Amino acid sequence: MQKRIVVTGVGVVSSIGIGKDDFWQALTAGKSGISPIESFDTADFPTHNGGEIKNFSAQEFILPEEAEKMGRVSCLALAASTLAINDASFKLDNFNRERIGVVFGTTMGESQILEQLNAAWIKKGESAIDAALICRYPCNVIAANTAVKFKLAGPNLTIPTACAAGNYSIGYACDLIKKGAADVMLAGGADAFSRMAFIGFNRLLAVAPEKCQPFDKNRRGMMVGEGAGVLVLESLEGALKRQSQIYAEVLGYGLSCDARHMTAPYGEGIARAIAKAIKESNINPEEVDYISAHGTGTPANDKEECLAIKKVFPGRYKKIMVSSIKSMLGHTMGAASGIEAIACCLSLKNDLVPPTINFQTPDPECDIDCVPNLSRKVKVNLALNNASAFGGNNACLVLRKFILS
């Protein structure tokens, strides 16, 4: 379990860009991916904006006949996986594919498939349901479809720990490599824009009317989004052997459950995950330069996350840069911490921290350095990636600038 794990490829599909270059350019420029929703009619809802991906075509990454047999989440996951494999200059034929695995996180799974099944049942009855659609619905198909496409016969799993699932997947993938169960893992998260999620968060009165403003005193809620983020993970030994680029090193992760409330975040639980991640990674809290926040923009989440940061870093929390890229992408559910892990990798690689946009009014309860509105060129050696979820699931990932030592 002492193997060093590194990130050698990244693939992202998001509302601000497809592919790492477009994504990173837009992210550091503070570009918003929030726009009026087009995938369904929102006339009966109090809010009308979201982080939809407007220019995604699955056929750019997979054959039309393949795309027709999958839900949108699987298509997003496959696209991000393709981008990550290409970015890692990975020649799959040079590897034993039984030693390459896939693990994805998700919140809603193929919820659009469920919506289609429901619509058919209501309109014409049970006999009108297409049996083929049923096979496309279970959330395990997200990782399975990726494995089938690339003939990856190693460990295969979909982790449905809601909006913390991306970090769970990356952490678990690292463990599989460390224990010798795989040589290479594709890990991250994927979720498509969901009518179900949009309805649910609107009923919870958690959606902002126009924009997401994490850590702002007048923040009014989150934005539902969609996307996929995939990292290629492998041992340092393997990466050096094939002379691969290295974005960052994954030092460790920490998990916790609030065990308190199904939907309300809890600072104590978040703090436990951060503290566990720091301990497992064998680092000093003084070393942390940047935290990619869960930062949904809801009053409760941002307050509790700030309380957690203050608890773990009581003497220096104001000196740590803490930004939320959900201010630009919206909340991509199970994809969120996968995409945010990629943002951390690129921050470490480029010494550039993305901003929290839409910040206007400081909140005394969130008196952190949220990197307001403009990205910051600064040395970044160590980053934390925070994620929280319904059910009280918390996960914190620790990434460090790669140093061969």
Give me the sign of the Cα torsion angle 168, 169, 173, 174: negative
CA distance 191 to 52: 11
Compute φ and ψ for 175, nearest 5 degrees: -60, -40
CA distance 82 to 11: 7
**Cα–Cα distances in angstroms (integers) from residue 368 to residues 215, 217, 380, in the given order:** 8, 12, 17
Query: And the tokens for 19?
Result: 């592919």
The verdict on whether 48 is a catalytic residue reads: no
- Tracing tokens 């995939």 back to the chain, one arrives at 230
In the set 75, 139, 163, 174, the catalytic residue is 163
The verdict on whether 139 is a catalytic residue reads: no
| 328, 331, 332, 335 alpha-carbon torsion, rounded to 10° | 100
Tell which residue, 121, 128, 177, 124, has the closest CA to residue 154. 177
371: left (phi over 0), alpha (psi -120 to 50) or beta: left
In the set 75, 174, 212, 294, the catalytic residue is 294
The verdict on whether 163 is a catalytic residue reads: yes
Amino acid at 215: F
| 200, 203, 208, 213 alpha-carbon torsion, rounded to 10° | -70
In the set 139, 174, 331, 396, the catalytic residue is 331
Tell which residue, 18, 31, 51, 76, has the closest CA to residue 330. 51
Which amino acids are annotated catalytic? Answer: 163, 294, 331
